[in-house]
Amino acid sequence: MSEQKKASFSLASWKQLLPVLARYKWPLVVVIVSNILLAGIDLLFPLLQSRAVDDFIMKGTVAGFGGFLLQYTGLLIVEIVLLVAYFRSCMKVEMCFGRDLKEACFVNLQKLSLDYYNVTSAGHSLSRVMSDTAKIAEATAWTFPNILWALAYIPGVYAVLLMLDARLALTMIVLAPLVAGFTVYFQKRLIALNREVRAQHSRITSGYNEGIMGAKTSKTLALEGKLTHEFEEITSKAAAAGIAHGRMRAIYVPLIVLCGTLAASATLGLGGSLVMGGRLSIGVLSAFMTYALSLFQLFRQMAMFISGMVSLQANVERVADLIHKQPTVVDKPEVLERYGDCFAPKKENWENMRGEVEFDDVSFRYIEDGEEVLSHVSVRVPAGGTVALVGETGAGKSTMVNLVCRFFEPTQGRVLIDGRDVQARSQLWLHSHIGYVLQEPHLFSGTIRENIRYGRPEATDAEVEAAARAVHLDRIAAKLPCGYDTDVGECGDKLSTGEKQLISFARAIIARPAIFVLDEATSSVDTETEQLIQQATKTLMENTTSFIIAHRLSTIRQADMILVIEHGEIVERGTHEELLRLGGVYHELYTTQLSKQEKNIS
Amino acid sequence: MKTKGRDWKKAQLLLHHLRPAASALLLGMGASLLLTLLRMAFTQVVRFTVDGVLLGDVSSLPAFAQSLAPGAQLAGACALAAAIALGRFAVSYVQDSRLPMGSERFTKSLRDALYSRIQRLPYSWHVQHAAGDIIQRCISDVEVVRAFVMDQLLELLSTLFMIVTCVVIMFGMNVKMALLATAFVPVIVGYSILFYHFVSAKFVKADEAEGALSAVVQENLTGVRVVRAFGREKAELDKFREKNNHYTDLWLKLGDWMSAFYTLGDVMSILQVFSIVVLGVHMCVGGEVSLGVYLAFVSYARELTLPVRRLGRTISEMSKANVSMDRLLYILEAEEERTTESPAEADLHGELRFEHVSFAYEEKPVLRDVSFSIPGGKTLGVFGGTGSGKSTIALLLARLYDPDEGRITIGGVDTKDMDLHTLRRSVGIVLQEPFLFSRTLAENIAITKEDASREDVALAAQNACLDASIGEFRDGYETIVGERGVTLSGGQKQRTAIARTLLSGAPVMVFDDALSAVDAKTDEAIRTRLREAAGGSTLILIAHRVATLMQADQIIVLEDGRIAESGTPQALLETNGAFARAAAMQAAMGEEAQA
């Protein structure tokens, strides 16, 4: 097609997907071969028609008609067999190739580090896994063979035309470059217009997303009219884009048809005079007209197929990129050898974890050349110790916790678990020993029981209920219609944030971790419940190393060690009493606010 | 009777939204019918040329052409064919440009109606309905209905017209052959309808399997931290694989059915042409029909093939639209919030009163006989634990719900008698999980006050302690947030929402645990500025932390939906009530230090 398209179409990303496609080599071969053979059969039918006219009707006899019928029927049977083979193989290629691409994406998504997730929205990744792969598989199975079909059929038609009568074929040879020219001209514009249509459609989708998900907020702000008005502007633009696309298409498609019908008209005139001069049979003339009426449509179809493949480029790049993206946190080969990866762990080689955690001169920045989030942090937490991290938002508390979980690697320095570099053992080993509770709890669809059990699948019902009792979830479960077997609803929509936090707390407890990470774990739980939880989990947490981030100082006061973090550095460390005595940042934070409180009360 | 009413409603829905599209659609449809006639005419030109000119049977030609020389006859036929070709081009342009125009206008009308209705549905409706499902309806079901009108209904019309014209012409040419050619039409249509009826359930299952697969991926992605922290990658992969394989298998099975169907359909279509060839050759040889007629029959039979086969599919897919229209009507027929007729004017800066207010949510009592009042411009603290009903106070105040009993007045006027829009604009609520719109930070802050100056926005941001965060963004106030922009932290969202409400200058401002995700120092800084920043507005602070409410002029303490105690903070501390106990407990726990 056009030069420009060739330039933008690169095979490099397609090649990256080839190993997956290669698994379906044979069905693909069947698709291609049967399709090309079908092109041949399609070519033969008009010829048979012309034979019916010339050999029987014009001669006025039905002698030999039996043989003709036999040929015709034979061709039909071959066509049916080919069609079945073609259809089933296409389906197989589409579905299996799509399935394998989806799985390859999903597998790599399980390995990619959190830096990927921090900058990529879930919706974006989801559409790569679901829709990009489906489009690629569909085009590979159906569009690509159709291009080959058209590539075989168009020259085929010309060969037949030239063979039948070179003089008559001339019209269609002369018109071909014209039709090709129209196609290139219009296709380019249609693609651009279509891009605009799709862009407007995605704006409509996000308009609905916002209008529906933000409906509660827009009600409280009485923004309904304003938002509706803005949405109407978007739909107007979308309608205009659709109409513009329709208009352009309304010239192009009839133009191609016009070329075909004009060619047929010319054939009728030219061929007619040849017939009258006895230099052409009527059968051949009718075959010519049949070919003329359909030929140029093929140009259009081929252009459609090719632009379909070209527009797939972006999807292919996105999927190839996702499948081959390297995680930033990787286990070394010798570690994988001994401990296994996250899908096939070698648990027999796993050591128990005591839970001693040490930061050895650790510095960290999220992006290269970016701001240092942690600088030269050194601290040792003995097994079973409780560490509270205090500091402003953005001081580096969550980063420290992320490094303990090895969601990121330190830019400098080492994190040691039980005295060994965290990189010396596998990520799964580490994660299997961590209990993690997030401020924004994520629950999976299923029952409360299933969600708690997510922490340790082999836990018994009694253990699940014990964990639930520890966080006072039993009171809440008792109020629910099905108790622990109540469905939490998709993403836990049916429960309050506080209740979700309790479930995710129970999930962490049941995992029997060596290290607890509580990142604002109970921020949405009322004080009374929180205190009850603290008492209940005290014994549980005694033998567990705990990292606690909390705004409430109640939790913090009881910690074995408090780390005050400012601008990525530990500025003070010690127990509550020690830090108060020290008279530094922590003391200031504590006393100034305490005095304010007293003043208020008095 | 009931379904009849339902069908009438659906028809009304379609007719209503077809109105803006009517002129384009009528023109497009007219062109479409004319196009069918022109296509048929072209075949007739070929027929007459073959019989009358090429085979020299002059008597078969129309009278005016009989006296012309054969060369002129041929030239005339050729010119006529070319003229028809040009006519087709012009008419096609009208058809192909008008129909999409009608389609776009129809969908725009429908989409706008949905959006506008959704915006005007009550708060309770939004609480009860999952956003994902509603979005799905607005996107997919609209598309199904569009396809129903534009592709199915119109195609049905033009295909039927084509079949009728074709049949009339064929019977005009030769009855015997026409009978044979038309006999296939009902067979093929019936076969397609039956088949699609049969597989449609399988299609639904396959679609559901895709939805389930998509849900697994979605959950895995949004819960990635949990998956990793618990080392559950393997289990997640197993879950994914099971759904992925199930989905693939369903489609492969469906593919087997489809291939059988298509092939059988192909066989029927080919047989149709085949039988015309066989009969036609014999009749031609026997002199019953002319060659031109034979060729015209073959060509009509071929032209009928595809539309007839699509017809079955179209008819059976029309039932899909039925379900989709139900799903859209569900939204479009949901009851909008009632607007107040001849609303009363009120001094919204005046006294705010709850008088014996009771409210139950889904038959669960939330508030019971709650009465209190707060003079305009003062600060009310609402204290209570999780589930005590304290957030409901805010929702009732803005009439997001109406109380079952009792009444709420501002400046002496029942809120029920006020204009809803004015009331909501006057009661600025900051929700615990506020939503930011996809636009710049500055636009988000000034969303209810578009004429606000740069300085006003900056001042509001400063009072909400948001200015420092804004400084960290590369584009500052022009940073786009929300769905298509930067994702803000929970605390940043809350502070933006606070700035938004402060800027609005609403006479009543409600902060419902609005600082839960903000760190202690910032929390305190905001609260010390709040009273001043709010100006003469009445403030309602809802919290479960004692410290948050210490600056309130008056506090009510809610327990199980009832007011357990009320008074100034100092007075409450001196009693031995729930507030004093909580204060002592929180003080002992160091809660106050965090303030």
Same domain membership, residue A186 and residue A104: no
ipTM comes to 0.85
Residues 320-339 of B with CB under 8 A from A: none
Q: For B274, which residue in chain A has the nearest alpha carbon?
A: A72
Q: Closest CB to A553: pick one of B99, B126, B591.
A: B591
Backbone phi and psi for residue B159, each to the nearest 5 degrees, phi listed first: -70, -45
Strand partners, B382: B542, B556
Evaluate whether residue A538 is within a structural domain.
no
Inter-chain touch A553–B518, beta carbons under 8 Å: no
Same domain membership, residue A214 and residue A116: no
Q: Does A367 touch chain B (CB under 8 A)?
A: no
To the nearest 10 degrees (0 to 180), the angle between helices B233-285 and B291-332 is 150
Same domain membership, residue A199 and residue A76: no
**Whole-angstrom Cα distance, residue B472 to residue A490?**
35
Q: Residue B188: enclosing H or E segment and its boundaries? A: helix B175-222
A105, two tokens: 């994406």
Same domain membership, residue B362 and residue B267: no
Same domain membership, residue A150 and residue A70: yes
Contacts of residue A109, Cβ cutoff 8 Å, sequence gap at least 6: A125, A129, A322, B220, B221, B224
Q: Closest CB to B591: pick one of A96, A407, A552.
A: A552
Q: Do B331 and B137 meet the contact criterion of CB atoms below 8 Å apart?
A: yes
**Whole-angstrom Cα distance, residue B554 to residue B566?**
7
pTM of the model: 0.80
Q: Does B53 touch chain A (CB under 8 A)?
A: yes
Q: Closest CB to A126: pick one of B108, B218, B277.
A: B218
Give the pLDDT mean for A63-71.
91
Inter-chain touch A407–B225, beta carbons under 8 Å: yes
Strands B352-361 and A420-421: unpaired
Query: Domain ends where: B266, B301, B332?
Result: B332
Give the pLDDT mean for A162-188.
91
Q: For A55, which residue in chain B has the nearest alpha carbon?
A: B281
Q: Does A231 touch chain B (CB under 8 A)?
A: yes
pLDDT higher than threshold 50 for residue A491: no
Say what percent of chain B tops pLDDT 70.
Answer: 97
B525, two tokens: 């800084």
- pLDDT bucket at A507, cuts 50 / 70 / 90: very high
Q: For A522, which residue in chain B has the nearest alpha carbon?
A: B516
Exposed/middle/buried for residue A119 (C-beta within 10 Å: 0-12, 13-18, 19+): exposed
For B367-381, write each residue's pLDDT tens digit: 999 999 999 999 999
pLDDT higher than threshold 90 for residue B236: yes
Q: Does A444 touch chain B (CB under 8 A)?
A: yes
pLDDT higher than threshold 50 for residue B154: yes
Backbone phi and psi for residue A356, each to the nearest 5 degrees, phi listed first: -80, 130
Same domain membership, residue B316 and residue B368: no
Q: For A277, which residue in chain B has the nearest alpha carbon?
A: B54
Q: Closest CB to B123: pick one of A95, A216, A511.
A: A216
For A250-280, write each residue's pLDDT tens digit: 999 999 999 999 999 999 999 999 999 989 9
Residues 66-105 of B with CB under 8 A from A: 70-71, 74-75, 77-78, 81-82, 84-86, 88-89, 92-97, 99-101, 103-105
Backbone phi and psi for residue B253, each to the nearest 5 degrees, phi listed first: -65, -45
For A297-331, write each residue's pLDDT tens digit: 888 888 888 888 888 888 999 999 999 999 989 99
Residues of A in contact with B252 (CB under 8 A): 91-92, 95
Inter-chain touch A114–B583, beta carbons under 8 Å: no
Highest mean pLDDT among A200-204, A389-393, B548-552: A200-204
Give the pLDDT mean for A433-451.
85
Same domain membership, residue A200 and residue A85: no
Q: Does A121 touch chain B (CB under 8 A)?
A: yes
DSSP, res A413: E
Of A482 and B555, which is predicted with more confidence?
A: B555
Give the pLDDT mean for A61-81.
91
pLDDT at B589: 55
Q: Closest CB to A60: pick one of B81, B236, B285.
A: B285
Beta strands in A382-492, from DSSP E residues, in sequence order: 386-390, 412-417, 420-421, 434-437
- How does the average pLDDT of chain B come out, rounded? 88
Say what percent of chain B tops pLDDT 90.
Answer: 48
Query: Domain ends where: B272, B297, B332?
Result: B332
- Comparing A101-110, A388-397, A510-519, the range with the smallest average pLDDT is A388-397
Of A238 and B229, which is predicted with more confidence?
A: A238
Inter-chain touch B277–A232, beta carbons under 8 Å: no
To the nearest 10 degrees (0 to 180), the angle between helices B520-533 and B490-504 is 10
Inter-chain touch A110–B233, beta carbons under 8 Å: yes
Evaluate whether residue B244 is within a structural domain.
yes
Residues of B in contact with A249 (CB under 8 A): 96, 100
B408, two tokens: 């709420």
Q: Does B274 touch chain A (CB under 8 A)?
A: yes
SS3 assignment for B443-476? HHHCCCCCCCCHHHHHHHHHHCCCHHHHHHCCCH
Query: Please, how many CA atoms are within 13 Å of residue B108, restricted to the half-sphere of its CB?
Result: 24
Backbone phi and psi for residue B539, each to the nearest 5 degrees, phi listed first: -110, 135
Same domain membership, residue B520 and residue B476: yes
**Domain with A109 in it: what CATH number?**
1.20.1560.10
pLDDT at A495: 73
Highest mean pLDDT among A134-138, A291-295, B221-225: A134-138
Inter-chain touch A275–B54, beta carbons under 8 Å: yes
Q: Does A497 touch chain B (CB under 8 A)?
A: yes
Q: Does B348 touch chain A (CB under 8 A)?
A: no
Same domain membership, residue B381 and residue B306: no
Residues 269-298 of A with CB under 8 A from B: 269, 272-273, 275-276, 282, 285-286, 289
Evaluate whether residue A467 is within a structural domain.
no
Evaluate whether residue B223 is within a structural domain.
yes
pLDDT at A592: 55
Inter-chain touch B112–A439, beta carbons under 8 Å: no
pLDDT at A596: 46
pLDDT at B484: 65
| CA–CA distances in Å: residue A454 to residues A427, A464, A500, B70 | 18, 10, 14, 89
For B504-532, write each residue's pLDDT tens digit: 989 999 998 887 777 667 777 888 888 88
Say what percent of chain A tops pLDDT 90.
Answer: 49
Q: Does A95 touch chain B (CB under 8 A)?
A: yes
Inter-chain touch B78–A265, beta carbons under 8 Å: yes
pLDDT higher than threshold 60 for residue A139: yes
**Whole-angstrom Cα distance, residue B384 to residue B393?**
12
Evaluate whether residue B439 is within a structural domain.
yes
Q: Does B248 touch chain A (CB under 8 A)?
A: yes
Evaluate whether residue A61 is within a structural domain.
yes
Q: Closest CB to A57: pick one of B123, B291, B523.
A: B291
Report, in this order, helix, strand and coil percent for chain A, each rounded to 5: 70, 10, 20
Same domain membership, residue A213 and residue A160: no
Same domain membership, residue B412 and residue B304: no
Same domain membership, residue B412 and residue B484: yes
Q: Which domain covers residue A147, as residue numbers?
A: 11-164+314-327
Same domain membership, residue B276 and residue B382: no
pLDDT higher than threshold 80 for residue A524: no
Inter-chain touch A91–B255, beta carbons under 8 Å: yes
Of A198 and A7, which is predicted with more confidence?
A: A198
Same domain membership, residue B26 and residue B146: yes
**Whole-angstrom Cα distance, residue B383 to residue B394?**
13
Angle CA A419–A425–A427, to nearest 5: 120
Interface residue of A208, A257, A373 to substitute, partner B, most B CBs within 10 Å: A208
pLDDT at B591: 43
**Whole-angstrom Cα distance, residue B270 to residue B184?**
11
Evaluate whether residue B337 is within a structural domain.
no
**Domain with B511 in it: what CATH number?**
3.40.50.300
Q: For B364, which residue in chain A has the nearest alpha carbon?
A: A479
Q: Do B284 and A57 meet the contact criterion of CB atoms below 8 Å apart?
A: yes
Say what percent of chain A tops pLDDT 70.
Answer: 94
Q: Do A555 and A548 meet the contact criterion of CB atoms below 8 Å apart?
A: yes
Inter-chain touch A557–B589, beta carbons under 8 Å: yes
Give the pLDDT mean for B147-152.
89
Inter-chain touch A228–B116, beta carbons under 8 Å: yes
Same domain membership, residue B396 and residue B319: no
- Comparing A258-272, A510-524, B555-569, the range with the smallest average pLDDT is A510-524
Residues of A in contact with B497 (CB under 8 A): 217
**Whole-angstrom Cα distance, residue B160 to residue A532?**
75
| Cα dihedral sign, A217-A223-A227-A228 | positive
Inter-chain touch B252–A273, beta carbons under 8 Å: no
pLDDT at B95: 95
Contacts of residue B13, Cβ cutoff 8 Å, sequence gap at least 6: B325, B328, B329, B332
Give the pLDDT mean for A197-221.
87
For B36-91, write each residue's pLDDT tens digit: 999 999 999 999 999 998 988 888 888 888 888 888 999 999 999 999 999 999 99
pLDDT higher than threshold 50 for residue A173: yes
pLDDT at B199: 82
Query: Domain ends where: A222, A254, A279?
Result: A279
Evaluate whether residue A391 is within a structural domain.
no
pLDDT at A597: 45
Q: Closest CB to A490: pick one of B130, B258, B285.
A: B130
DSSP assignment of A177-204, as one string? HHHHHHHHHHHHHHHHHHHHHHHHHHHH
Inter-chain touch A432–B231, beta carbons under 8 Å: yes
Q: Do B545 and B590 meet the contact criterion of CB atoms below 8 Å apart?
A: no
Same domain membership, residue A159 and residue A47: yes
Residues of A in contact with B154 (CB under 8 A): none
Same domain membership, residue B393 and residue B291: no
Query: Domain ends where: B297, B332, B367?
Result: B332
Q: Does B553 touch chain A (CB under 8 A)?
A: no
B553, two tokens: 């002029």
pLDDT at A595: 46
Same domain membership, residue A176 and residue A121: no
Interface residue of A112, A267, A268 to substitute, partner B, most B CBs within 10 Å: A268
Q: Which domain covers residue B142, as residue numbers?
A: 2-332
Question: Distance (Å) from the C-alpha of residue B229 to the closest C-alpha of chain A?
Answer: 5
**Domain with B120 in it: what CATH number?**
1.20.1560.10
Residues of A in contact with B124 (CB under 8 A): none
Q: What's the residue count for chain A?
A: 602
Inter-chain touch B111–A247, beta carbons under 8 Å: no
Same domain membership, residue A267 and residue A319: no
> How many beta-carbon contacts under 8 Å exist across A and B?
448
Evaluate whether residue A368 is within a structural domain.
no
Report, in this order, helix, strand and coil percent for chain B, each rounded to 5: 70, 10, 20
Residues of A in contact with B590 (CB under 8 A): 552-554, 556-557, 590
Evaluate whether residue B500 is within a structural domain.
yes
DSSP assignment of A119-182, as one string? HS-HHHHHHIIIIIHHHHHHIIIIIHHHHHHHHHHHHHHHHHHHHH-HHHHHHHHHHHHHHHHH
Q: Do B382 and B393 meet the contact criterion of CB atoms below 8 Å apart?
A: yes
* Radius of gyration of chain A measured on its C-alpha atoms: 36
Residues of B in contact with A212 (CB under 8 A): 118, 126, 131, 134-135, 138
Give the pLDDT mean for B324-334.
92
DSSP, res A363: E
pLDDT at A473: 86
Which one, of A177, A94, A91, A168, lies nearest residue A134 by Cα?
A94
Evaluate whether residue A109 is within a structural domain.
yes
- Comparing A411-415, B226-230, B494-498, the range with the smallest average pLDDT is B226-230
Evaluate whether residue A420 is within a structural domain.
no
Same domain membership, residue A209 and residue A183: yes
Count how many domains chain B has. Answer: 2
Give the pLDDT mean for B439-459.
89
pLDDT at A6: 40
For A10-46, write each residue's pLDDT tens digit: 778 888 899 999 999 999 999 999 999 999 998 998 8
Inter-chain touch B96–A590, beta carbons under 8 Å: no
Question: Distance (Å) from the C-alpha of residue A323 to the closest C-alpha of chain B?
Answer: 15
Same domain membership, residue B367 and residue B276: no
Count how many domains chain A has. Answer: 2
pLDDT at B538: 94
pLDDT at B85: 95
Same domain membership, residue A101 and residue A246: no
Same domain membership, residue A263 and residue A210: yes
Evaluate whether residue A243 is within a structural domain.
yes
Same domain membership, residue B315 and residue B360: no
Q: Do A283 and B125 meet the contact criterion of CB atoms below 8 Å apart?
A: no
